[in-house]
Chains A and B, each alone.
Chain A
Amino acid sequence: MKLHARVNGSPFVAEVPATSSLLEVLRGAGLTGTKEGCRIGVCGVCTVLVDDRPVSSCLYLAGCASEADIWTVEGMAERAPSVVDAFVECEGMQCGICTPGQIVAVASMGPDVRDENGVRRYLSGNLCRCTGYGTIVDAALDAQARRRGEVAPT
């Protein structure tokens, strides 16, 4: 099938099997910031936004992205600069494999996620093997505060 969508704000057209995953499509197009992890929707490293919703791109059928507005980690500096800044400031990463998914997941948080419990619950499906989550939670709380205008942009 011919997939028509927008990726990181630009028109995107690709000839893909309808049953391919959005992850395969994106990485095949050179957008390798999105990682492949468990391939069963559990680990979160392949998180991308589809029409503002966080999805596991490894499970997401390419066809279901037809006409969608897709954002990957490559677009986060434009789409969610405060989240990227927060991860840098708080050093919310270690080896970096889960980081693209963490950043995209935090970028999808609504304003209702305000405290540590809310952040931990929201991000409970984005696994990290290095940090123990402390700095990631710090980065998410910082990003939410920045979006509320409570932290001066750096």
Chain B
Amino acid sequence: MTDPPSGEAAFLVPGTVEAAVEALGAAGAVAVAGGTSIGLLVGQGLLAPSVLVWLGRIPELSVLEEGDGQMSIGATTTLATLAAHPRVRTAVPALADAAASVGNTRVRAVATIGGALGHADPRQDLPPALLALDARVEVAGGRGRRHLAIDELIDGFMSTDLGPDEVITAVRVPLVDGRRSCYLRFTPGSADDYPTVAVAATAEVADGVPTAVRLAIGGAGPAAYLVPEAEQVEGAPEGRWAAEVAEVAEAAARRADPVDDRLGSAAYKRRMVAVWARRALERCLGADGVQP
């Protein structure tokens, strides 16, 4: 490829992860997958990359397969693919529902799971779902590959632990027999808007008794966060969760660090975290009569 005119971005189309990593080593290089966020930032003049490295032609990144007790989801898997995937829908419905909630049909058709995580916008749907599901992210870079939890990858407001030459290659979601999961978002505006708060819950329920309860919250802080108090619900006898669930929901609200914006005041978001955390836990545990 010839050099572009000065001031104009070069556009590279690597065919392997290794070539992408090498290309990302250039100053001002930015990785692009579906391009919905990068296209927006570039279009609004907020980002002026010197090199665009498109990941859309790397076969390894689009693999979606099940094996070794986990679902391995290539980084360029689109949200539409995730939302429609029969096994994702049945085994990890929180992920399918989160993917189906993003933006509109056109966004979901091209936006990717890797792009959503790399962008690290705290209002996004996928991070809380993947955090609750205890997913891990595979990252490739000049020093090889490493694996991170969601809250290790996303370490602040639109900030990740990724080095400049690193790229997300896959997301691995554990598949656990008997695990239930659900994702709920509170979106008082139009359906394509970001959620005011987003909540994901997972639990294993055997003989009506929940174990391995995880709760994650999005939209209510600089990054999605786990609520470790969720373990208080574990072991409660069937149908006798109400007090524990209420306590966990309040703990989730205490851990929130929201800001005032057009999606709601900080105080409002904090209250909505408690309300939607309770609903998500009830749904996940089956207490509201709706199967997750």
A124 and B43 contact, CB distance less than 8 A = no
- Taking CB atoms, residues of chain B closer than 8 Å to A122 are 105
Kindly identify which residue among A19, A21, A56 contacts B107, using a CB–CB cutoff of 8 Å: A56
- Distance, CA A39 to CA B9, complexed state (A): 21
- Distance, CA A47 to CA B36, complexed state (A): 13
B104 and A61 contact, CB distance less than 8 A = no
A41 interface residue per 8 A CB criterion: yes
- Taking CB atoms, residues of chain B closer than 8 Å to A125 are 103-107, 192
- Taking CB atoms, residues of chain B closer than 8 Å to A58 are 39, 43
- Taking CB atoms, residues of chain B closer than 8 Å to A108 are 105, 109
B11 interface residue per 8 A CB criterion: yes
Asked if A42 meets B104 with Cβ closer than 8 Å, knowing A59-B35, A66-B13, A124-B191, the reply is: yes
Kindly identify which residue among B9, B40, B52, B80 contacts A59, using a CB–CB cutoff of 8 Å: B40
A54 interface residue per 8 A CB criterion: yes
Number of residues of chain A lying within 8 A (CB) of chain B: 29
Q: Mark A42-53, 1 if CB is under 8 A from B, else 0.
A: 101001001001
Q: Mark B28-63, 1 if CB is under 8 A from A, else 0.
A: 000010111011101110001100101010000000
A63 interface residue per 8 A CB criterion: yes
Asked if A41 meets B52 with Cβ closer than 8 Å, knowing A18-B9, A58-B43, the reply is: no
- Distance, CA A150 to CA B8, complexed state (A): 51
A-B contact count (CB 8 A): 97
A40 and B40 contact, CB distance less than 8 A = yes
Complex interface residues of chain A between 1 and 34 (CB less than 8 A to chain B): 1, 17-19, 21
- Distance, CA A1 to CA B4, complexed state (A): 7
Least Cβ–Cβ distance between A65 and chain B, in angstroms: 10
A64 interface residue per 8 A CB criterion: yes
B91 interface residue per 8 A CB criterion: no
B246 interface residue per 8 A CB criterion: no
- Distance, CA A19 to CA B11, complexed state (A): 8
B54 and A64 contact, CB distance less than 8 A = yes
B259 interface residue per 8 A CB criterion: no
- Taking CB atoms, residues of chain B closer than 8 Å to A66 are 11, 13, 54
Least Cβ–Cβ distance between A98 and chain B, in angstroms: 14
A19 and B105 contact, CB distance less than 8 A = no
- Taking CB atoms, residues of chain A closer than 8 Å to B36 are 41, 56, 59
- Distance, CA A105 to CA B107, complexed state (A): 12
Q: Which residue of B lies closest to A104 (CB)?
A: B106
Q: Which residue of A lies closest to B193 (CB)?
A: A42
A61 and B192 contact, CB distance less than 8 A = no
B110 interface residue per 8 A CB criterion: yes
Asked if A56 meets B106 with Cβ closer than 8 Å, knowing A63-B11, A64-B35, A125-B192, the reply is: yes
A133 interface residue per 8 A CB criterion: no
- Distance, CA A21 to CA B38, complexed state (A): 11
Please name 11 further chain A to chain B contacts, defined as beta carbons within 8 Å, in addition to the given A41-B40, A60-B39, sorted by A numbering: A19-B8, A41-B107, A55-B106, A56-B106, A58-B39, A59-B40, A64-B35, A108-B109, A122-B105, A125-B106, A125-B107
Which 8 A-B pairs have CB atoms at the shortest separation, nearest pair first?
Answer: A125-B104, A18-B11, A59-B39, A63-B11, A53-B109, A61-B35, A56-B106, A18-B9
13 A-B pairs with CB atoms under 8 Å apart are: A18-B11, A21-B43, A41-B107, A42-B192, A44-B106, A58-B43, A61-B32, A61-B38, A61-B42, A64-B32, A66-B11, A108-B105, A124-B192
Report B's interface with A, CB cutoff 8 A.
1, 4, 8-11, 13, 32, 34-36, 38-40, 42-44, 48-49, 52, 54, 56, 80, 103-107, 109-110, 191-192
